[in-house]
Amino acid sequence: MSENDKHPEKDSESGGFSVLDVVRVIGGILFFNALLSYYFTSSTTWGYESRWKDVGYLKFKFMNGATHLTFTEDELALYNGTDPSLPIYIGIYGKVYDVSNSRSTYGPGGSYAFFSGKDGARAFVTGCFNKEDEFTHDLRGLDIEEAMSDISGWQRFYGNHLRYWYVGEVIHTKIIGEPPEYCEGMKFPGT
Ligand SMILES: *[C@@H]1O[C@H](CO)[C@@H](O)[C@H](O)[C@H]1NC(C)=O
pLDDT reported for residue 6:
54
Residue list, ligand 1 pocket, CB within 6 Å: 77-78, 80, 82, 108, 117
pLDDT reported for residue 146:
94
Q: Which of 73, 79, 80 to mutate to test the pocket of ligand 1 (most atoms within 8 A of CB)?
A: 80
Q: State how many domains the chain has.
A: 2
Contact 168, 69 (CB under 8 A): yes
pLDDT reported for residue 42:
78
Half-sphere exposure of 108 (CA within 13 A, CB side): 8
pLDDT reported for residue 191:
40
Nearest Cα neighbor of 92 from 131, 119, 125 is 119
Question: Would 181 be classed as within a structural domain?
Answer: no
From the CB of residue 163, how many other CB atoms can be counted at a distance below 10 Å? Answer: 16
Q: Measured in angstroms, how far is the CA atom of residue 97 from the centroid of ligand 1?
A: 18
Please tell me the pTM assigned to this model. 0.76
Give pLDDT < 50 ranges for the chain: 1-4, 190-191
Same domain, 26 and 61: no
For residue 133, what are the domain limits? 51-171
pLDDT reported for residue 52:
85
Same domain, 40 and 80: no
